[in-house]
Amino acid sequence: MTALRLFHTIEPYVCSGLLDDPLLLVRVRPTGRSLLFDCGQMLHLAKRTLRSIDAVFVSHAHMDHFMGLDHLVRHTHVSSRPLDLYGPPGIAARVGHKLASYDWNLAEAWWRTIHVHEVHEDRIEDHQFAGARGFAGERLGSASRCGATIHVEAYVSVEAELCDHGLPVLVFRLTETEVFSIDPAALAREALHPGPWLRELKKRWQRGETGRGPLVVLRNTVDGPQDATIADDAALYRQLRSNRPAASIGYATDIGFSAGNRQRLQGLLADVSLFCCECTFLAEDVQKARASRHLCTTDVNQLAADLQPRTLLPLHLSKAYIRNPRALYRELKPPPATRLLELPDYVTARPLLLTELPRFDHNACQPNTLPHMEVSDA
């Protein structure tokens, strides 16, 4: 199987197995910072990884998508960097309840502020929880939504739509900013010869400085490459650029298979490079999927046909299939142009049994130690 290069400036890491709580971390290579999609069980992530996260995108507040926020705050609250958190209507109150359940009497002035953005159909409501004030909540106001975009930074943007799971659930599309790319066929068509002028054009484009002056290029002639002056460098790039859409990731979990949800996914996630999609049930349990407003394998097959992603990554399989989770992949039949990706069953550590833990005899006050443990006499 040939390797696929999907992305230029981002590195997606699925921090969960097929049967784990879904957890997608996207690292932005030029900055070394990260974005996190959903926030379930995350005890297995190193503190260094957690401290790289600048923004969290929560689909909804069910425990398996939201319980990890406490762990994230535990390891990053002393950071001076702000944290942005996006979620569906009501998420600010839930964040506030979590933070208010702890004592913050030792708060310091430099502790981080958490900015919570509630995404509604027509607006985004902004709240903040300042660590310096013990994470007391404050509503800052709201702004009308203009399109699907909710978050923009130097190398990526994130869009969102609300879907139905018996409650509002956000689905997300992360898109890389456009990458400077030249079509070799267009160079030949314009009789242009590669050279240092391409580096200069790239610098101007990256700095947003095209259209401000002429550009000296190399044009092929019968006597070899010769200097030529192009008056409009912006128009030149439009002629030469590759017709390649920016790479993107779609993230959809805990949605019912309804006409309304399908329509919203089609509008937001068509042609994504990587489609991370819940697939909680196998086909034989379609009625369980309908009752719980989840997806089964036949639903995911239909969504893949609707959206035509380059790659499909199923997530969030029910633990009811713990004895045979690989059956999922036998039932998934994406379109021929879509590559199906697989996850290990788990990436989280296996829970320990009592027989694997140190036991103390309360009568003799002596530990019944395991071979790998040393117990101090002190």
Distance CA 180, CA 353 (A): 54
Are the C-beta atoms of 88 and 62 separated by less than 8 Å? Answer: no
Alpha helices in 84-139 (DSSP H): 91-100
211 has a pLDDT exceeding 90: no
339: which 2 tokens? 């590559």
The per-residue pLDDT for range 39-76, each reduced to its tens digit, is 999 999 999 999 999 999 999 999 999 999 999 999 99
The strand pair at 359-361 and 339-340 is best described as unpaired
The strand pair at 113-119 and 83-87 is best described as parallel
Query: What's the pTM value of the predicted model, to 2 decimals?
Result: 0.86
% of the chain exceeding 90 in pLDDT: 79
Chain position carrying tokens 């509630």 = 118
User: Nearest CA to 134 among 154, 111, 117, 157?
Assistant: 111
Work out the mean pLDDT of the chain and round it to a whole number. 92
Phi–psi pair at 11, nearest 5 degrees: -130, 105
Question: What pLDDT shows up at residue 366?
Answer: 60
Distance CA 16, CA 24 (A): 8
Those residues whose C-beta lies under 8 Å from the C-beta of residue 139, and which sit 6 or more positions away, are 92, 125, 126, 127
Distance CA 314, CA 358 (A): 38
Are the C-beta atoms of 24 and 57 separated by less than 8 Å? Answer: no
Are the C-beta atoms of 20 and 348 separated by less than 8 Å? Answer: yes
Chain position carrying tokens 């590669």 = 194
Distance CA 82, CA 80 (A): 6
% of the chain exceeding 70 in pLDDT: 94
278 has a pLDDT exceeding 60: yes
378 has a pLDDT exceeding 50: no
Query: Which of the pair, 190 or 117, is modelled with greater confidence?
Result: 117
Question: What pLDDT shows up at residue 275?
Answer: 98
Confidence of residue 180 (pLDDT cuts 50, 70, 90): confident
251 has a pLDDT exceeding 50: yes
Burial tier of 159 (Cβ tally within 10 Å: 0-12, 13-18, 19+):
buried
Question: What pLDDT shows up at residue 376?
Answer: 45
Distance CA 234, CA 226 (A): 21
Q: Which residues pair with 198 in a beta bridge?
A: none
Distance CA 126, CA 115 (A): 7
Question: What pLDDT shows up at residue 64?
Answer: 96
User: Nearest CA to 186 among 237, 244, 246?
Assistant: 237
CA atoms within 13 A on the CB side of 86: 25
Question: What pLDDT shows up at residue 274?
Answer: 97
Distance CA 125, CA 116 (A): 8
Are the C-beta atoms of 179 and 30 separated by less than 8 Å? Answer: no
Distance CA 301, CA 312 (A): 10
